[in-house]
Amino acid sequence: MAGHSDSSSSEKKSSEAMNDVPTFSTENMQNNMKVIYYSRTFMSIIGGVIAGILGFTGFMGFIFYFLVMAITSIGLIAKAKFSVHLYFDSWNRIILDGFMGGLMSFVLFWTFAYDIVHIF
Amino acid sequence: MGLGFMVGVLGVLFLFHAAYSTIQGLLKIMEEEFSGPPMNVSLIVLDLILWFELLGFVFCISAALTVPGYFLSIHPDSEENRIVSLSANLDFMIFNHRAKALPLETDMKLKH
């Protein structure tokens, strides 16, 4: 198992017996997931700072977070030139991945910016 | 890549400026308790703050979409995935090969 995972870089997941199962290159898939992760993390931090500056409290802040994540998802889909199946194997990856992790960063920077701007 | 990064830094600077303006506006009012959204800041300053925030947000989102890199196609049959190569893995490196069976070229040079 360990030897299987760190062999050649362009390792393909395929089952030669059936042609129905789609094959894809895992290295490129990992690269795409990394791009999504970086984009979402950065945007959740920026969203947190904006929410803190604007003074959102309570539920409004979380609504703002979902708004920022929706805009980021639309941006990522546009970056994938609207043909998501070329770069990912399912829609869930580009829409939902990194959502919950970003929420923690968002809340952290939201409270941080709010404290600095409104409470000092 | 450098341009995207600069755009992101500029967006963050806009946000800092907006935060600074908000602090200045709130300090002017000299409030002691929570004010929540900066509604008590004068309208002109609030307008400026909102514009800076929007601009900073737009710059940051364009940086977030361009700096991390491009999407690579995952289909093995696509045009840009034609050439594949092994990484520099010691398991696949060959140090003992048949080049010693080739005629040495240094003998030919010494004949000059």
The string of pLDDT tens digits covering residues B44-75 is: 778 888 888 888 889 998 998 888 888 888 88
Closest to A50 (Cα-Cα) out of B3, B50, B96, B77: B50
Please give the structure tokens belonging to residue B49. 């703050």
Mean predicted confidence (pLDDT) in A29-44: 89
Among B35, B64, B65, the residue with its CB nearest the CB of A118 is: B35
In A, which residues are within 8 Å of B18 by CB distance?
A: 53
Sorting pLDDT into bands at 50, 70 and 90, what band is A47? very high
- A114 or A5: which leads in pLDDT: A114
Residue B14 in any domain: the answer is yes
Closest to A88 (Cα-Cα) out of A21, A22, A38: A22
Q: How confident is the model at residue A10, as a pLDDT? A: 46
* Cross-strand bridge partners of residue A13: A24
The 10s digit of each residue's pLDDT in A11-33 is: 454 444 445 567 777 788 888 88
Q: How confident is the model at residue A68, as a pLDDT? A: 92
Residue B22 in any domain: the answer is yes
Residue B59 in any domain: the answer is yes
Whether the Cβ atoms of residue B17 and residue B25 lie closer than 8 Å to each other? no
The total of structural domains in chain B comes to: 1
**Distance from C-alpha of A71 to C-alpha of A90, rounded to nearest angstrom:** 19
Q: How confident is the model at residue A45, as a pLDDT? A: 92
Residue B25 in any domain: the answer is yes
Is the pLDDT at A44 greater than 70? The verdict is yes
The 10s digit of each residue's pLDDT in A59-101 is: 999 999 999 999 999 998 888 888 878 888 888 777 777 778 8
Q: Do B61 and A80 touch (CB under 8 A)?
A: no
Q: How many CB atoms lie within 10 A of CB B52?
A: 21
Please give the structure tokens belonging to residue B56. 């900073």
In A, which residues are within 8 Å of B71 by CB distance?
A: 31-32, 35, 79-80, 87
Work out the minimum CA distance from B34 to partner chain A, whole angstroms. 7
In A, which residues are within 8 Å of B12 by CB distance?
A: 46
Q: How confident is the model at residue A6, as a pLDDT? A: 41
- B41 or B17: which leads in pLDDT: B17
> Count of A–B CB contacts within 8 Å?
117
Please give the structure tokens belonging to residue B19. 């935060």
Is the pLDDT at B98 greater than 80? The verdict is yes
pTM (2 d.p.):
0.72
Closest to A37 (Cα-Cα) out of B9, B68, B72: B68
Amino acid at B72: L
Q: Which of A6, A14, A28, A88 should be substituted to probe chain B, the one whose Cβ sees the most B Cβ atoms within 10 Å? A: A28
What value does the CA radius of gyration of chain B take, rounded to a whole number of Å? 31
Is the pLDDT at B110 greater than 60? The verdict is no
Closest to A105 (Cα-Cα) out of A27, A56, A45, A33: A45
**Distance from C-alpha of B54 to C-alpha of B48, rounded to nearest angstrom:** 10
Residue B31 in any domain: the answer is yes
Residue B12 in any domain: the answer is yes
**Distance from C-alpha of A24 to C-alpha of A88, rounded to nearest angstrom:** 9
Given the cut 0.90, state whether the ipTM is greater than it: no
Residue B81 in any domain: the answer is no
Whether the Cβ atoms of residue A68 and residue A43 lie closer than 8 Å to each other? yes
Give the domain extent around B12. 3-67
Q: How confident is the model at residue A4, as a pLDDT? A: 42
Residue B94 in any domain: the answer is no
DSSP for chain B? -HHHHHHHHHHHHHHHHHHHHHHHHHHHHT--S--SSSTTS-HHHHHHHHHHHHHHHHHHHHHHHHTT-------TTSGGGS-----S-GGG---S-GGGGSPPSHHHHHT-
Q: Which of B58, B74, B81 should be substituted to probe chain A, the one whose Cβ sees the most A Cβ atoms within 10 Å? A: B74
Sorting pLDDT into bands at 50, 70 and 90, what band is B106? low
